[in-house]
A and B are shown apart, each in its own frame.
Chain A
Amino acid sequence: MHFLSKQKVWVFDGAMGTMLQQLAEFEFTCPDELNLTQPDVVLKVHQAYIKAGSDIIQTNTFGANYLRLKRFGLESKTYEINKRAVEIAHKASSGKIVAASIGPLGELIEPFGDITKEEAFNSYIEQAKGLDEVDFINVETVQSLDEAEIIIKALREILALPISITVTFQKSPRGYFTMMGESILDFVNRATQWDVQAIGTNCGEGFEQSLEIICEMKNLTNLPLIAKPNAGIPQFEDGKIVYRETPDFVEPLIEKFFNNCVKILGGCCGTTPEHIKAIKRIANKINFDG
């Protein structure tokens, strides 16, 4: 991630899953499968974000690890799904930075669940095989630092690519913690040992909480920070799912992210190209007006 050494801020993309659902030509249960069955729809999402101003786009591979695909009977296509996703992103990117998205297993690893550490490791080895041609790997929506460590080990086993890690924290009466009870400080300490290129937070309850997490994190590390917040908690109105944090709501917060050490800002669930346009406007102001 050499680009991070430049004195400027970068715009990530917005949500993939919620966009795919809007644009897909037919119903689907596994979003990652669309790389094979509806590649044009995935391409359209990337193009929409690039048009809105994303400097970095992310492959449609969040759930494309072996074990997660197995739950859809697609495990034999793990390599193909990842490989195609990278191709689609490059086709859309026209020279922009391409990151590979890696999400969690969605199941618990031993001793809390049935998945062994070895099975988890191998699941990500299979995924990583298809991701060799990206600029960096973004391990996101991390809810267990032990799981993240397994993912990083697997990635390093076969890829020589920069890695960033973004964690999902929940607000508890005692502050922010992962699902497994790990604090922001725990995360920063582990990330330092892992020697990753950037850290941050994604998903969660919205831009305001994400900013709170960032403000805590920046005091604990010198690493470049990434934020990809949700557009709030989804609501149900007139038969549709809507997100309350509109681009207008988010706009006044954007500068605060960049003022608090965030080098890469984008969006997670519910964010759209309109959110990215708002982020781009502020990023341009910072990058060009100083």
Chain B
Amino acid sequence: MDSQNSNILIQISDLIISGNYKSISSVIEEALRTKITANEILSSGLLKGMEIVGIKFRDGLIFLPEVLMSAKAFKEAMKIIEPLLIQENSSDKIGNGKILLGTVKGDIHDIGKNLVGVMLKGNGFSVVDIGVDASIDKFVEAVEKENPDIIGLSAMLTTTMISMQKTVQILKEKFQTKLIIVGGAPVSQNFANKIGADGYGKNAIEAVELCKKLLRIN
């Protein structure tokens, strides 16, 4: 890659890191004009930027507001390159795998779950989100319809942890081989082990690392 190309990709990654959702579209267009492929923009620009956002978040250098602004910039960029990615890859399956996310029954919180969704997308996963207060039936139906690689359950309230346990139990009975991960404020590794989940992420970054590990990516 020539240095002009690498400069513009660094610029794209920087716009992601700074969450500059207003300027990113024009820079993406410029990159496409200089014949950089959508694949390169994604992997060497957008995903590179999101990776750094993830590290900064993990290390406590930035917080939810900054991550959400980066996610917004990522979304703007994807609007332009998503159709091109499908052309370039001659397949509708982009990226690392499909993750189904939902907040368990009785719990209406979704700030954490949405952040996990954003970071997963930012790391090349496709995400199906079934929302909050999702009953066991809703999870089962969605798993049958979407056939995800991993199911992610979220709970924010200490009082809905039992609901999470029941959901994991039924999903494991119905779909023995499906991987299930859990997260949320009251959830811990210990809890995840005890209810038979396949993994736990303390935050959105750990959730991404966990999905990569479970699907043997990298």
Q: Is A269 part of the binding interface, using a Cβ–Cβ cutoff of 8 Å?
A: yes
Q: A29-B106, A236-B194 are in contact. Are A17 and B157 (CB under 8 A)?
A: yes
Q: A233-B188, A236-B194 are in contact. Are A181 and B65 (CB under 8 A)?
A: yes
| Complex contact B190–A181 (CB within 8 A) | no
Q: Is B14 part of the binding interface, using a Cβ–Cβ cutoff of 8 Å?
A: no
| Complex contact A181–B161 (CB within 8 A) | no
What residues of chain B lie closer than 8 Å to A107, measured between beta carbons? 110-111
What residues of chain B lie closer than 8 Å to A236, measured between beta carbons? 161, 165, 190-191, 194-195
Q: A106-B108, A234-B186, A236-B195 are in contact. Are A173 and B62 (CB under 8 A)?
A: no
| Complex contact B68–A234 (CB within 8 A) | no
What residues of chain B lie closer than 8 Å to A270, measured between beta carbons? 158
Give A28 Cβ to nearest chain B Cβ, in Å.
9
Q: Is A71 part of the binding interface, using a Cβ–Cβ cutoff of 8 Å?
A: yes
| Complex contact A108–B190 (CB within 8 A) | no
Q: A17-B158, A112-B68, A269-B158 are in contact. Are A172 and B191 (CB under 8 A)?
A: no
A178 (CB) vs chain B CBs: closest residue = B63
What residues of chain A lie closer than 8 Å to B173, measured between beta carbons? none
Q: A112-B65, A177-B60 are in contact. Are A71 and B108 (CB under 8 A)?
A: yes
| Complex contact A241–B63 (CB within 8 A) | no
What residues of chain A lie closer than 8 Å to B61, measured between beta carbons? 174
User: What residues make up the interface of B, taking CB atoms closer than 8 Å to A?
Assistant: 59-66, 68-69, 105-106, 108-111, 132-133, 156-159, 161-162, 165, 186, 188, 190-191, 194-195
10 nearest A-B pairs in the assembled complex, by CB-CB distance: A181-B63, A172-B60, A236-B194, A173-B60, A174-B60, A269-B158, A71-B108, A236-B191, A112-B68, A29-B106
